[in-house]
Amino acid sequence: MINVEHLTKTFGAKCAVDDVTFSVSKGEVLGFLGPNGAGKSTSMRMITGYLPPTSGTITVAGFNVADQPLEARRRIGYLPENAPIYSDMSVLGFLSFCAEMRGLFGSAKKDAIDRVVQLCFLERVLHQSVDTLSKGFRHRTCLAQALIHDPEVLILDEPTDGLDPNQKYEVRTLIRRMGSEKAIIFSTHILEEVEAACSRAIIIDQGKIVANGTPDELKAQSPFAGNVIVTVGNVSKAQLLPQIEALKGVEKVWIVAEKPEHVTFQVVPRGNVLPELLEAGTRNAWKIEHLDVEEGRLDDVFRSITLPDTKPAA
């Protein structure tokens, strides 16, 4: 559905997007991750045809965005960053304008408006002026605009920015639900959203793609993935450390927390350390209170990829 090849955008001497290639097919929800200024919005603006690329090609639903911009745009629903919206209209007036711009008139327009109003929970504010809306409603009104023509492709730039937790949840659920029959790209810097809504994620930093995979694949790249975390109740730190360091399967170990009643340590394994660790526990009569294998958190992956100089905090 969306094909991006060698996309590059420079502003003067600054390279905002640097040779980015990826594709999204129907039924996929692609999470676009990256720190502020990474080039997410710039990429999305090029895909929607707002900014012309410096080089590279983009096709949307088979139409080249540079050559057939109108055909491509007809198939795209776009929520720009910060959800801009005409402030001097009512929600209904705004949606009606957007529907007409998409070629929907008469009963088709009415049906489309009814559908998105329901989808985005706008009944309550339908006749209210956009000026007086709370941020959450403004955002959802702009989102409704992106959905009004039921597009095959959705480009959402930070769709949950500025929403409260309940609204964030609603929008994520909506994205996931629509994901089955559309191709969706949404950008965010909230990592839990990627796990909640995406089938695939791309991490972009300084204009370059630095990671691309399913959320699980990305999590496995965490420097902490596979680490074993154990809480032991009846042994002091001084006794414990030598006992663990003696094990062959232990690459590295450090104390995470030390309290009078128990000690928590984390082990970086070399191979599968669990049987050996449990055996050592039995041998030394540890009172194991808690044992966990870290599956990796996206935060850590994100940090380790986008901040290469910072070592993971021990």
Partner 1 sequence: MKTIWTIAKRELGTYFTSPVAYVFIVIFLFLAGAFTFMVGRFFDRGVADLLPFFLWHPWLYLFLVPAAGMRLWSEELRLGTMELLLTMPVTPWQAILGKYLASWIFLAIALFLTFPIVITVGYLGHPDYGRIFCGYLGSLMLAGAFLSIALLTSSFTRNQVVSFILAVVVCLFLILCGWPPVTDAVSNWAPAWVVDGLASIGVMTHFDSLQRGVLDSRDLLFFGSVIVFCLFANSVVLRAHRA
Q: Which residues of the shown chain bind ligand ADP in the complex (CB under 6 A)?
A: 11, 14, 16, 34, 36-42
Q: Which does 89 bind (CB under 5 to 8 A by kind): Mg ion, ligand ADP, partner 1, none?
A: partner 1
C-beta of 84 vs 312, nearer to partner 1: 84
Tokens of 236: 């002091």
Cβ contact 191:299 at 8 Å: yes
Please, what is the minimum distance in Å from the beta carbon of residue 276 to Mg ion?
47
Interface with partner 1, residue 159, by CB under 8 A: no
Question: What is the Cα–Cα distance from 130 to 285, expressed in whole angstroms?
Answer: 67
CB of 249 to ligand ADP, least distance (A): 41
Nearest to 266 by CA among 236, 233, 234, 241: 241
- Min dist CB 54 to partner 1, Å, is 10
Q: Which is nearer to ligand ADP, 34 or 215 (CB)?
A: 34
- Touching partner 1, residues 59-98 (CB under 8 A): 70, 73-74, 76, 78, 80-82, 84-89, 93, 97-98
| Least separation in angstroms between CB 73 and partner 1 | 5
Residue 37 binding partner per list Mg ion, partner 1, ligand ADP, none, with a CB distance cut-off of 5 to 8 Å that depends on partner kind: ligand ADP
* Residue among 92, 97, 133 nearest 114 (CA): 92
Smallest distance from the beta carbon of 109 to ligand ADP, in angstroms? 33
Q: Return the one option of ligand ADP, Mg ion, partner 1, none that residue 38 interacts with (CB less than 5 to 8 A, by type).
A: ligand ADP
The candidate with the shortest Cα–Cα distance to 170, out of 192, 140, 142, 146, is 140
Q: Between 99 and 209, whose beta carbon lies closer to partner 1?
A: 99
CB of 86 to partner 1, least distance (A): 6
- Binding mask 34-53 toward partner 1 (x if CB under 8 A, else -) reads -----------x--xxxxx-
Q: How far apart are CA 170 and CA 166, in angstroms?
A: 6
Angle at which helices 135-147 and 106-119 pack, to 10 degrees?
Answer: 140
Pairing mode, if any, of strands 29-33 and 200-205?
parallel
Task: Count the residues of the shown chain that bind partner 1, applying the rule CB under 8 A.
Answer: 29
Q: Is 154 in the site for partner 1 (CB under 8 A)?
A: no
Q: Distance (Å, rounded) from C-alpha 24 to C-alpha 205?
A: 19
228 binds, among Mg ion, ligand ADP, partner 1, none (CB under 5 to 8 A by kind): none
Beta bridge partners of 265: 230, 255
Query: Binding residues for partner 1, per CB under 8 A?
Result: 45, 48-52, 70, 73-74, 76, 78, 80-82, 84-89, 93, 97-98, 100-103, 142, 145
